[in-house]
Amino acid sequence: MRSRRGISVIAVIVLMLPVQLALHRFAGSEPYPALFMPSFGQVPVVGQRVVVTRLTVVASSSTKSVHVDPVELVPNETRLAESIARFFFEDEDAVREVAANGWLRGRLRNIGVEADNVEVTRERLFLDQDSHEVVQVVRVATYAVALDRGPA
């Protein structure tokens, strides 16, 4: 009886392979929870050139401008921090939301930066495979947000 149960469980697990792949394709991104290991997405190579995305955050006040490491703005010390920052700054609406409610100003203050505006730039760098030099830079998006003090 127990063996039958085991075989049923194993059959369900095996069936999950095509079901998960179909869900992934249908939803456009990986579902959770699911039996997945890293697929790394599309290979970041275009015409023999490695593509790297660069995120630049500049915080400015009336007196000065400073480059801020986006990872430092994320209150997390695990390896998730880098991806949290990358995904977050891709979403302009979400950044405007935290700029309006005081959260972003608070985070900047936490790392010792006083600012009234933040400018975010996302670029795609194309690296030559032989020299490893950047041979082309394509700006994907640029936006600026004014930092609010949030609810008093």
Under the rule (CB under 8 A), what is the footprint of another protein?
A: 2-7, 9-10, 13-14, 16-17, 20-21, 23-24, 27-45, 48, 50-52, 54, 75-80, 82-84, 86-88, 91, 94-95, 97-98, 101, 103, 125, 127, 129-130, 132
Token readout for 119 is: 């400018």
Q: What's the closest the beta carbon of residue 43 comes to another protein, in angstroms?
A: 4
Tokens of 46: 């275009």
Cβ atoms < 10 Å from Cβ of 108: 20
Question: Which residue's CB is nearer to another protein, number 5 or number 67?
Answer: 5
* DSSP category for residue 63: S
Residue closer to another protein (CB basis): 44 or 64: 44
Contacts of residue 106, Cβ cutoff 8 Å, sequence gap at least 6: 150
What is the distance between the alpha carbons of residues 94 and 103, in angstroms, rounded to a whole number? 11
Least separation in angstroms between CB 63 and another protein: 27
Q: Compute the least distance from the CB of residue 119 to another protein, in Å.
A: 18
